[in-house]
Each structure stands twice: as C-alpha cells, then as structure tokens.
Amino acid sequence: MDSQRINELLQPFFTDDASSGLLSEQRSRTEPAALRREQLQQLSSYLDLLLRWNSRVNLTAVRQPEEIVTRHFGESLFAARRLFASGAQTNTAQRVIDFGSGAGFPGLPIKIWVPEIELILIESNQKKTTFLREVIRTLNLRSTAVFGGRAEDFDSRAATVTLRAVERFEESVRVAERLAVSGGRLALLIGESQIKSAREVVAGFKWMDPIRIPESLNRVLLVGTAEP
C-alpha cells in the first residue's frame, strides 16, 4: 500500500479534537499531529512485511490491508501521540517495554512516532520474535530489541509499559505492573469491559480517565501512573 493511502486512513487518529487527551508532561504544547514522509514510508514497509509474513505465520487475524492500518497502526499511533505529544525531536529519551508484542503493536508504531525512545519488545512466540527482528532490521530501528521469552523472566524495568491484546488479561496486567519503574506509566489498549478489572488488579496506580479510540465502538486507552 502506498504512503498516501496509509496517511488518509490514519487521519481519524490524528484529529485535533483529541488534543485534550494528550498525556505528555508538555500538555500546553499541542503542536499539529502529522506523520512525516519517512514515517509513512516506514509504515508502508512494515505493512508489506506483515502481509507477506502473515500468509505463512499467523501474526494477526486481520487480513485486509486497510483494516490492518486502521485497527493496528491507527490504534497504536493514537496511543503514541497521547503518551508522547511530540512525534519529532522529543527530549523524552526513555525506555518503553511492549509486553506481549505479537506482530509489534503498539510498540513498533510508537517507536516510529518517537524514534528517541529505547524500545524493548517482549514476545515469547519464536516465530513472532523472528518477524519482529526482521521489521527492526528492515526499518533500521535503532535502540530497539526483542526479548524472546516470558515477561516474568525479564529483569529490567521501564518508564512506560504498554499492553494490548494479551491472553489471561488479569495475570498479564499484574506482570506488566512489575515492569514499570516507580512513577512509571502503564498504558493499556483494551475494551471498555476490562477497565474495572484493570483498576482493581493494579491498585497501586493512579488511573486517568479512559480515552476512547476513534473508529472503534468500545476500545479505549487507559493509562495509570505508579505511585512512588
């Protein structure tokens, strides 16, 4: 798919009326959200790889290219903009862990949005880890690594931990909680029905109001901050 079409499909996730949901420390600086040419080229290459690999390896149940862009790329970039308000030259050179990364969502689109972060993708499925490493190599994503094992065995922490579409949700949220540093953030891309469970399971976090994701009936971004 060409970059122009990808850009068109992603526009609902970059609307200005969503600026009130920005979660960056620089809330007052809501510069216009736009993907640069090189970012769109990276997304196009990523999509091509995903489609090619998905014909052999079950990376995602979504098969239509345009639906992949809106459901996976769009949702991930929606979260990226709210976690990191500026997609260009941010001074937030922090570590991000994407737990249960699967085909790389939301971690890899977040990295494309804000290249300065150090990104660690945790994925135990070996075929998927091979795919993730191929995307990293093809897109030349620096400071990006894959941990091909169980998150319980990962011995480092991050300022931001993301979680999306995992099995055994409550158990996974507890593990994700332990991956966040004191004062760090846990960003969950979940259904509305999971909000109450997340807040009850992770009681030591201060939760913001959920932000509804465009083009979805019941998907939200829920962000909590670990209390010191």
- Chain segment 148-187, per-residue pLDDT in tens: 999 999 999 999 999 998 889 999 999 999 999 999 999 9
CA R_g for the chain? 16
Which has more pLDDT, 31 or 109?
A: 109
Q: What is the pLDDT of residues 39-52, one digit of tens each?
A: 999 999 999 999 99
Length of the chain: 228
Query: What's the pLDDT score for residue 29?
Result: 42
pLDDT for the residue numbered 166: 82
- DSSP-assigned states of every residue in 166-196: -SSHHHHHHHHHHHEEEEEEEEEEEEGGGHH
Residue 111, pLDDT above cutoff 90: yes
CB atoms within 10 A of CB 152: 13
Domains of the chain (ranges; CATH) run 3-14+35-226 (3.40.50.150)
* Token representation of residue 169: 């949700």
Please tell me the pTM assigned to this model: 0.90
Question: In this model, does residue 86 exceed pLDDT 60?
Answer: no
CA dihedral over 109, 22, 92, 198, signed as positive or negative: negative
pLDDT of residue 160: 97
Residue 22 pLDDT > 90:
no
